[in-house]
Amino acid sequence: MAQPEADVYGQTFLLADYPAVSIREWARLIREKRGARRIRSIPIPVLRAAGVLGAIVERMGLGYAPLTSLRVSNTTTDVAYDASPLEAIVGRLPFSLEEDVDRTITWIKAAVV
């Protein structure tokens, strides 16, 4: 720990990686490391329209809709938190995002075999 215990006692810290990374960037890195094909994107207006239809289906009691307005909102809203208080205490993270992706892919391959 980079800070004395007295500096952190009684405080709440959000646990997060830093620096912040977008889901798109993270997915692109995973795709490149896996040698997978290009990630397809659906235009946001199409997603929103599908979400509205899904919400209507659920409200009418016609069944479960995998995509609703709420889900579209949740998955298209950027969420980036200021992790600088955590970084000041913890210091440099032990792995970079690229190293994390490499280690995770190695772990998944080992688990699948």
Nearest to 17 by CA among 76, 77, 75, 99: 99
Full-model pTM: 0.65
Task: Give the gyration radius of the chain's Cα atoms.
Answer: 20
| pLDDT number for residue 52 | 97
Tokens at 57, concatenated: 């289906």
| pLDDT number for residue 22 | 84
- 37 in helix, strand or coil? coil
Contact 38, 107 (CB under 8 A): no
* pLDDT mean by block of 10 residues, the chain; 113 residues: 71 85 89 92 94 96 95 86 87 91 93 81
Long-range Cβ contact pairs of 84-93 (< 8 A, separation 24 or more): 84/18, 85/11, 85/13, 86/13, 86/14, 86/15, 86/16, 86/18, 87/18, 88/2, 88/3, 89/1, 89/2, 89/3, 89/7, 89/8, 89/13, 90/1, 90/2, 91/2, 93/17, 93/18
